[in-house]
Chains A and B, each alone.
Chain A
Amino acid sequence: MSSITAGSHEHHDAHAAHGQGGVGHFLGTYVFSRDHKIIGIQFLFSTLIWFLIGGLLALGIRWQLAWPWQDMPVIGRMLFAGEGGQISPEFYTILFTMHATIMIFFVIIPILAGAFGNYLIPLMIGADDMAFPTLNMLSYWFMWPAFLAIGASFFVEGGAAKAGWTSYPPLSLTDLNGQTLWLIGLTFVGVSSMMGSVNYMTTIIQMRAPGMTMFRLPMTIWAMFITAILQAFALPVLTAAGFMQLMDRTIGTGFFIPEGWSANNAPLASGGGQPLLWQHLFWFYSHPAVYIMILPAMGMVSDIIACFSRKPLFGYKPMVYSIAGIAGLGFIVWGHHMFVSGMNPALGMTFMVSTMMIALPSAIKTFNWLGTVWGGQIQFTTPMLYALSFVAMFIIGGLSGIFMAATPVDIFIHDTYFIVAHFHYVLFAGTAMGVFGAIYFWYPKMFGRMMNETAGKIHFFFTFLFLNGTFFTMHILGAGGFPRRLADPYHYQTFAHLQPLNVFMTWCAIGMVAVQVIFALNFFLSMFFGPKAGRNPWHANGLEWAAPSPPGHGNFDFQPVIYRGPYEYNSPEVDTDYYPQNEPPPEPKSESGEETEPPPQPPAE
């Protein structure tokens, strides 16, 4: 963080109003900062910590599936003293519920929009900050009540939420206080996301630098923009549904409770509601949310691949349109989560067709990434390896989705490990690998120093190997009908023989978590010992690379003017293999012979 201070001080005079020195200055600069870069880094640190917690919860699930009911060594004694070190079936439901909740709401969504959206949007469009800096600060601090609620829920009576991350009623209504805290936490995450969305949309529409037309925006910004729109339209539905469930739980309404319903020998509820209503409302948000969880990664990966292929992005406009297509179709496919839910089966056919069609823009994007690599001069840097693995893995995640979209096949594989394999290929092997690539790529900009390449490649190699060992085999379990969310599937004759494969997967998962130590060390040590990065270490074209590393408060030490799109690598117009967006074109011979005023330039390094 010391390097940021240095960057900020360069511009201290221009932004003296920002802090008055002393404790107030420190709090204003690093804690309650309204600077989009600090907020982005705050999001990054918070989400990486939750990433670790979510990963450890996953190891608990894997332990139980490999060696059911066996005492967990060391950790088990500390966590489950009451059970003698064993994971109880009740705690197992907490494990998978909270693993998913944390990974989705505290890691993937905030790391994409909160960390990278915040950090990159103003820098890439040439703005000095977000349109609403205070709102931006609040969007981070509204995550904290959620962190506290979810964190505290582990310690209340009955433990954290146990109804799955989808929280289907009526089960979620029978839960103890953990579920109430879960709903409160999610509401705060929703408010935070909404504040972010409004800000991103306004900033991208209003605050682009001169010359930055919409079709000169990098794919990262297009993806963030469309994601923000998705969030803004889908989130209110989840928030409303969350409040309805909260009221069902606390003040006796019956939105999701059928008439004359009772569970656990409780008195009859007033009822009159419908359990399926929740599923419709929940998936109306959560299916678009699946795209909220991948589109920004797609955008960032597109930028990284073009940069290290030293070639323009293949099919820029089709790439933009396919993101828009995914977003549009994303609103009419929610029913594919409900094929066997009891929803009218005729409706299932409609959702099958729309779901099949949403695979199309994903296919177009994949072909265009391949087209970008084709005929390039590929530099196998760590960010490039992650970006390429995003493509290789997204192909698997995309194709396996077709199995679930096909309604008759879904009858068999619904809620088996096939779907678990599918969404881990999209969200871990896809988004998380893309996020790793983005961290390695933009780290020099964020902290002014390079991460270690060798350590990065070792981290990549083992993560890539272990993730496939863990998740690819899940397809095989799924084909065997192996259901998800069972604490002990092996007492069914159909699944008993699948345990050895689960042991293999668990060892891979342990390896995968272990190699993240390399990443953590690289991340923190490079902050102090990495070589100085300079403004543009990758010779990339994006506007963010014209700013100092790290950029000071206000971002640019010159007025950026944009002359071209972000993908002019190996352009025939210049001799270098890159052609930054803000570099003025070679001076044409002016007819009148007058010297025109040279546009502002970043100072030479």
Chain B
Amino acid sequence: MGKFWSLIFLLVPILGVACFALAPVYNHWLPSDVSQHGHTIDHLFYFILWLTGAVFIATEVVLFWFLWRYDGKRKGHVNYTHGSHSLEIIWTILPAATLLFIAIYQMNAWAESKIRNPAAGPDGILGTADDMPPTLEVTGRQFEWRLRYPGKNGQLGDSDDIYIVNDLHLPVNEEILIYLKSDDVLHSFFLPNLRVKQDAVPGMKIPVWFRATEKGTYDIVCAELCGWGHYKMKGQLTIESRAEYDEWLDKKYREQTATVGPQLASQGDGE
């Protein structure tokens, strides 16, 4: 039976690799990437996948081979040993160096996605300068995404702002800066196709930035449990050309001012 069980353990690397090899063929894989920094994240994913894949295959095959070769039915000499000092040193230093390399290799991509805020000054410290006004403010609320665009005056946080729910439009190939907030519980602003994910925390205003590179409509997913309707907290992201975006925003502005009354509308027009 030893041979049988060894082969069962050999199934682990064989089926494991087959699973990962077949998944992209059937489109069960990373969703298409339409962002600038997403390319780097995907590259790092593949880098770790190949590295861990090699270690996975090697260790699982070695395990299989030892089970096959040293089946107890084979009467023979047993390798009576308590270990090997030099082997321990090799398999401590090699993985340590590899792991440290992986960590350092990730740092730049992390800094690009989460630390080098485009609104921050050249010293890179968060929120010390306002080089770049936010494109909009996104507020999570059970169970919807509230979007607040600056109106004609380009300023967020005044009576001129445009309010929209769940329908996020953004211009293609432009640096986008979003201030993310929450009204009630935790939410997470997840754009699978843009490799963006950031929790929204009540009491905090968190900057999120990215650059979309392809036009199209994509999902906005809430990725942090926010209650029974968590799965319903779905938004739609439309990436479009600058002209289309301006036109859309203008339309939204007119729709809103038509209902808020002449006083506010004239205020907006006066800009």
Contacts and interface: CB of A to CB of B under 8 A. Distances in A.
B231 A412 contact: no
Contact of A480 (B30, B107, B229): B30
Interface stretch (B152-160, B171-179, B183-191, B261-269): B183-191
Contacts of B29: 476, 479-480
A258 B72 CA distance: 64
Contacts of B79: 311, 374-376
Interface in A122-180: 162-164, 168, 170-171, 174
B199 A345 contact: no
A314 B72 contact: no
A349 interface: yes
A312 B185 contact: no
Interface string A284-321: 00000000000000000000000001111111111000
A468 B15 CA distance: 9
Contacts of A569: 78, 80
B252 interface: no
A83 B109 CA distance: 47
Contacts of B92: 318, 360, 364
A400 B83 CA distance: 28
Interface residues of B, number: 97
Contacts of B270: none
A534 interface: no
Contacts of B71: 378, 380
B1 to A, nearest CB: 6
Contacts of A521: none
Contacts of B192: 412, 481, 494
A485 B183 CA distance: 21
Interface stretch (B2-10, B128-136, B162-170, B240-248): B2-10
A367 interface: yes
A503 interface: no
A492 B102 contact: no
Contacts of A85: none
A498 interface: yes
Contact of A171 (B70, B106, B200, B227): B227
A314 B231 CA distance: 49
Residue of A271, A413, A571 contacting most chain B CB atoms (<10 Å)? A413
A371 interface: yes
B231 A89 contact: yes
Interface in A486-505: 486-489, 491-494, 497-498, 501
Contacts of B223: 414-416, 483
A528 interface: no
Interface of B: 1-2, 5, 8-9, 12, 15-16, 19-20, 23, 27-31, 40-41, 44-45, 48-49, 51-52, 55-56, 59-60, 62-63, 66-67, 70-72, 74-76, 78-84, 87-88, 91-92, 95-96, 99-100, 102-103, 106-107, 109-111, 113-115, 142, 183-186, 188, 190, 192-193, 195-204, 206, 218-219, 221, 223-232, 234
Task: Give 6 nearest A-B pairs by CB, closest first.
Answer: A258-B203, A375-B79, A315-B83, A345-B114, A263-B184, A481-B192
